[in-house]
Structure formats: structure tokens, C-alpha cells
Amino acid sequence: MSASKRTEAEQRVKLTDEQVHLIAKALADPRRYELLRQIGSCENSMPCAAIHELHPVSAATLSHHMKELETAGLVRAMREGKFVSYTLRRDVLQAYTDALAEI
């Protein structure tokens, strides 16, 4: 196995059963699924304000959904002062699909 292939394989995320369940629960909600799709469509991170513009819900509701996605490990929150941006964790999403493929 070449060094680049070995490094790629070593960097793969392996999920616990609990993490798989958290992701399944997070994605079961249609609104969170759509949030994840929109965040994933951005090349870089997506500011919370932009997410809120696309989803006219209360700040508390949006915060709840984003917290569920973050707890599941599907997004990474980057805080700068009072501003937050979110990035899709493609490695975790890939690990989730890999776990489902093993069933």
C-alpha cells in the first residue's frame, strides 16, 4: 500500500454505534436534512445569518437544529466573537454512509 493510500485510510473516521444513532436521529428531521444539504453546498463555511435567511424560523429553533447537527458531528461550528459559521464534516458523513453500507 502506498504512503498516500495508507495516510488516507488512517484518516478515515470510524464511528461508534452511538454516533451512528445520533446521526440517524439528526438526519431524520426534514429541516435538519435540508440545513445539512445547504451547508454542504457551500465551498467553505456558511454563516449562521445566511442559514437563518434561508430558514425563517425563530433563532431558538434554528439554534436547536444546529446544535443537533453539531452534536451528531455532522457540522463544525466556528465561532468568531458573536458570529458563528458552519462547515459540513464530509469525513463524518462518509463514515456514516460507510457504516450503513456494512449492514
pLDDT per residue as tens digits for the range 61-92: 999 999 999 999 999 999 999 999 999 999 99
CATH number at residue 38: 1.10.10.10
pLDDT at 6 over 50: no
Q: Give 1's pLDDT tier (boundaries 50, 70, 90).
A: very low
Any domain includes 9: no
Any domain includes 72: yes
Any domain includes 76: yes
* Number of domains into which the chain is organized: 1
Any domain includes 21: yes
Any domain includes 26: yes
- Print burial letters for 82-94: b (CB count within 10 Å at least 16), e (below 16): eebbbbbbeebbe
pLDDT at 10 over 50: no
The pLDDT score that the predictor gives to residue 11 is 66
The pLDDT score that the predictor gives to residue 56 is 87
Residue 20 vs residues 59, 62, 74: alpha-carbon distances, Å: 27, 22, 11
pLDDT at 4 over 80: no
Any domain includes 2: no
Domain span at 92 = 16-101
The pLDDT score that the predictor gives to residue 12 is 80
Any domain includes 1: no
Q: What is the pTM of this model?
A: 0.85
